[in-house]
């Protein structure tokens, strides 16, 4: 499937047949999300973090990055919003457990943020824009709630660039099925390279781009990542979407789960996931 940035010009949010978060919040998914920190997922933002800054974290998920951001800008106000009430409650519990008092979590929609114009110094979105049907509309909303001179920071994967070893047909099938399901749900698995174009369409003119890679290779990393995907392949919202869309059947998904378990067991196993990143500054 190909697309042009112009395909996001219209408010497709109003008309998109689906706008569904592919992964859902099954335990197998959360296992891979709660590993995330500012260091491994938002290092490009670190030079812009200062005590006292206010941050809105859109699509905050379980909140591990949000809580980490809150520690780094304390006593600045940090707000995480997510479309899932269940995950907002988990994120709030994390902040409480960690004794982080300057982070709060609210139910919220990236397309219609419940904040006045010019509310935040930084708006952050990690692995979110790939999952919404109209990322440009979400970016325009981020632009609205930013203070003049504030920054929008986004990072998304480029599934088209994911590489692994050994090059098994089972994992090739995983990627093909995953990509089709992600598109079927209204998202874009190749969001990372498109972030700059989307930000320009959303009205940002001062945009700095970077890229970084997640790499999973050690025994512990393969066990954690591959076993998470082995379960996700048959039990998560991704599995339900794969079957509902007709992209795969249960046998296909069981084969994919087995391919991940084979990869976990292979001491030569390696996987790299590239990500695009942008720092887009709102005009003064
Ligand atoms: C891949 S998770 C990323 C979570 C977190 N940012 C992280 O990296 O750990 C994407 C999150 O975006 C949320 N999401 C999807 N569409 C949304 C929308 N329109 N508004 C707010 N949150 C949304 C999902 O519920 C999910 O928690």
| Whether pLDDT at 2 is above 80 | no
Instruction: Name residues contacting ligand 1 (CB within 6 A).
Output: 21, 23, 33, 36, 58-61, 65, 82-84, 87, 108-111, 126-128, 131-132
Q: Per residue in 201-233, pLDDT tens?
A: 999 999 999 999 999 999 999 999 999 999 999
**What pLDDT digit, counting tens, does each position of 243-270 carry?**
999 999 999 999 999 999 999 999 999 9
Distance 27 CA to ligand 1 centre (A): 15
Confidence of residue 8 (pLDDT cuts 50, 70, 90): very low
Q: What's the chain's length in residues? A: 284
Determine the Cα–Cα distance for residues 102 and 230; give it in Å rounded to an integer: 36
Q: What is the pLDDT of residue 107?
A: 98
Pocket test for ligand 1, best of 83, 91, 142, 182 (most atoms within 8 A of CB): 83
Residue of 81, 82, 111 with the most ligand 1 atoms within 8 Å of its CB, for mutation: 82
How high is the pLDDT of residue 18? 87
Domains within the chain, CATH numbers bracketed: 17-160+187-215+272-281 (3.40.50.150)
* 263 and 168 Cβ atoms separated by less than 8 Å: yes
What is the rounded distance in angstroms from the CA atom of residue 105 to the CA atom of residue 239?
A: 28
């Amino acid at each position: 499937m190909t697309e042009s940035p112009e395909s996001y010009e219209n408010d497709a949010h109003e008309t998109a047949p689906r706008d569904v978060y592919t992964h859902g919040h099954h335990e197998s998914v959360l296992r891979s999300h709660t590993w995330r920190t500012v260091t491994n997922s938002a290092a490009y933002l670190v030079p812009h973090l200062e005590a006292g800054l206010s941050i809105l974290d859109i699509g905050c998920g379980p909140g591990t990055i949000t809580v980490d951001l809150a520690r780094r800008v304390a006593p600045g106000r940090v707000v995480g919003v997510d479309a899932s009430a269940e995950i907002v409650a988990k994120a709030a519990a994390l902040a409480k457990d960690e004794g982080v008092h300057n982070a709060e979590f609210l139910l919220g929609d990236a397309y219609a943020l419940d904040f006045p114009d010019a509310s935040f110094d930084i708006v952050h979105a990690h692995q979110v824009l790939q999952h919404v049907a109209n990322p440009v509309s979400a970016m325009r909303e981020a632009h609205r709630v930013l203070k003049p001179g504030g920054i929008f920071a986004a990072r998304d994967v480029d599934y088209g660039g994911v590489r692994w070893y050994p090059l098994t047909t089972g994992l090739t099938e995983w990627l093909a099925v995953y990509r089709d399901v992600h598109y079927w749900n209204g998202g874009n698995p190749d969001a990372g390279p498109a972030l700059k174009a989307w930000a320009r369409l959303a009205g940002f003119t001062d945009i700095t781009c970077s890229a970084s890679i997640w790499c999973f290779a050690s025994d512990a990393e393969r066990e954690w990542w591959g076993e998470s995907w082995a379960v996700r392949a048959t039990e998560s919202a991704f599995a339900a979407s794969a079957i509902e869309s007709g992209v795969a059947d249960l046998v296909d998904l069981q084969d994919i789960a087995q391919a991940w378990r084979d990869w976990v067991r292979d001491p030569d196993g390696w996987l790299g996931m590239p990500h695009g990143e942008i720092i887009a500054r709102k005009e003064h």
